[in-house]
Amino acid sequence: MGASLPALLRRPAILWSALAAALIAAVAAVLLVIPDDSGDPDYLDASLPIDERVDDLLGRMTIEEKVGQMTQAAVGAVDPYPGDIAELGIGSLLNGGSDALRSTPEEWAAMIDGYQRRALDSRLGIPLMYGIDAVHGNPAVPGATVFPHNIGLGAAHDPDLAGRAAAVTAAETRAAGIHWTFAPCVCVARDSRWGRTYESYGEDPGPAFEYAGPVVQGFQGEDLAANTSVLATAKHFVGDGGTAYGTSTTEEYLLDQGVTTLTEEELRSIHLAPFEAAIDAGVGSVMVSYSSTDLGDGPLKAHADEYLLTDVLKGELGFDGFVVSDWQGVDQISADYAESVRTAINAGIDMVMVPFEYQDFITTLLTEVDEGRVSEDRIDDAVSRILTQKFALGLFEHPLADTAGAGDVGSPEHREVAREAAAASQVLLRNDGDLLPLSGDESIYVAGSGADALGRQLGGWSGSWQGSVEAVNEGTTILAGIEEVAPDAAVTYSERATEPVEGADVGIVVVAEDPYAEGVGDAGAGEHDMLVSEEDAAAIETVCGAVDCAVIVVSGRPIEIEPHLTEVDALVAAWLPGSEGTGVADPLFGLTPYDGRLPVSWPRLVADEPLNVGDEGYDPLFPYGFGLQTA
């Protein structure tokens, strides 16, 4: 046992001198090995290479701080516990499709800065990244410019234009204080019944391969730290567009989160190729697919696939960014949550979009490391990848939002790019008697559910996950675009064609799907069936039975239109054109030519799906690549 305090006090003075000398010597020895931290640590030195800064910071972090960096929580989940951001060292927040929106870019920035300040109060002051699904513009910011969804950009066959659209999206997103977009989707849609078909550039890997590079470069810019750049995400790795009907792991979804069964060669030539292009362009993150892949040994969840995530993506393709899971995607691996977490991290996932029970995730992963089932080397690799992108984004030097570009959100210059993209995406499928383009001085009767419905032309991922008919965004409807582009035309509008048609020179019927997104939009899963609605069918019959007419289809995929074409003179696929309805009107009146081409095969019947160019017995209504041109 040690000596008591009274006994020590009774010892001779010489002993006290010896103790004092020993203490001084010990302190001196310690000072010889403790580095001088009076200046800023190396990771805060912006003049050093990023890899040196990462190594320095990683060496200072506890395992708890490392696991925190691998955690992405929904902003709504941390709202009741804001102190968790610093206490747990949470690495990222995201705005889910149902989280609250803000009214202006400045309000967005102020909200995110509030969370950021909490992150900066952590022991090491590691800033967080804030992510959002800005997939065709950033419609979560009211007044933002909204571009055509990817299927329309694919129809435009203009990768440079898609890159310019991404650059505008990046500038408007970063101006709101948001650092990271979950785009581009480089999936190859092989069955148009899939509710995410509009997120694809088409059924062939060629367009996705050509677009991936320019779009990634548009988002990330020449300098990722610039206030006009955001971190891009290539998604969903890999094969999500090839899932088979009825194989979903979620009962109500018929295609989404299903199984893609194919050979290794098919996987590489169809689904993997676009990711190679994105990686070559320097994409900073890759998101994993909900789907499973069956290469002959049975289906395996992509979130659990070490071969694809580590051996192929990080090894063979040389991807040096970080891999993020999809929303609660890790949870689907196993009924045993610890097994799910262990399997996902060991497979190669670096950041987990939890998004709600983040405390449980952190505790679970720490236990897995402590028990030796996940190595600290794997943790260090994941965190190094995440920190590398944070340094590249300039967050350590400028963690708070730069809203200097807020005034450009939705500017005329930005909307002009969206109008150009909408016009270029229009595909002319029929033009009997050269009805189009119109002269602009006719008496025009306009009908249909898509003519004056901004929400329908925006589609899903517009202000909310599934979108809504009553749009929260600003923009110009197709009807307003017609009136703007052809001011000399006498326009009569009747959505259901209940007003008399007599006296009109020409009719325009704009049929439309209601907005939808993944899962809910799978044809057959609910209200979305790829059929013309009864109301729109009646409008076609009424208007086209009375006058020469054009039908414009606003949709995220081909719909079953052939039964309604008997009296139709012109047919246009407008896809989901975004906020600028004037772009739909431009080629309609000859301001720009029709030059779009089908990025997917257009079936005669929904039951013909899956239908892809090269299939045996291929017999579409309109083939892949088809599109009439006008001067």
Q: What is the largest CA-CA distance in the chain?
A: 120
What residues does 17 pair with on adjacent strands? none
Whether residue 251 lies in the annotated active site: no
- Count of CB atoms within 10 A of residue 206's CB? 16
As separate numbers, helices (DSSP H) first and strands (DSSP E) second, the chain gives 21, 17
Pick the closest to residue 99 from 135, 121, 117, 73 (CA basis): 73
Q: For 186-202, b where at least 16 C-beta lie within 10 A, e where not — what string?
A: bbbbbbbbbbbbbbbbb
* 159, 211 Cβ separation under 8 angstroms: yes
Catalytic pick among 240, 483, 518, 569: 518
Which one of the listed residues 326, 548, 608, 609 is annotated catalytic?
A: 326
Comparing CA positions, the residue from 208, 206, 204, 214 lying closest to residue 185 is: 208
DSSP 68-81: HHTEEEEHHHHTT-
Among candidate residues 425, 422, 428, 449, the one with its CA nearest the CA of residue 532: 449
Separation CA 264–CA 91 (nearest Å):
35
Alpha carbon distances (Å) from 573 to 291, 339, 392, 553, 608: 29, 47, 41, 5, 19
**3 state DSSP class of 281:** coil
Compute how many other C-beta atoms are within 10 angstroms of the C-beta atom of residue 351: 24
List, in order, residues 6 or more apart from 343 with CB less than 8 Å away. 303, 304, 333, 334
Partners of 491 in the β-ladder = 444
Report the distance separating Cα 392 and Cα 399, nearest Å: 12
**Six-digit token pair at 364?**
């679970």
User: Residue 286: which residues within 8 A CB-CB, separation 6 or more?
Assistant: 233, 234, 235, 237, 275, 278, 313, 319, 321, 322, 323, 324
Token readout for 140 is: 């979560």
Is 326 a residue of the active site? yes
> How far is Cα of residue 439 from the mean position of the Cα atoms in its chain?
39
Name the residues annotated as catalytic. Answer: 326, 518
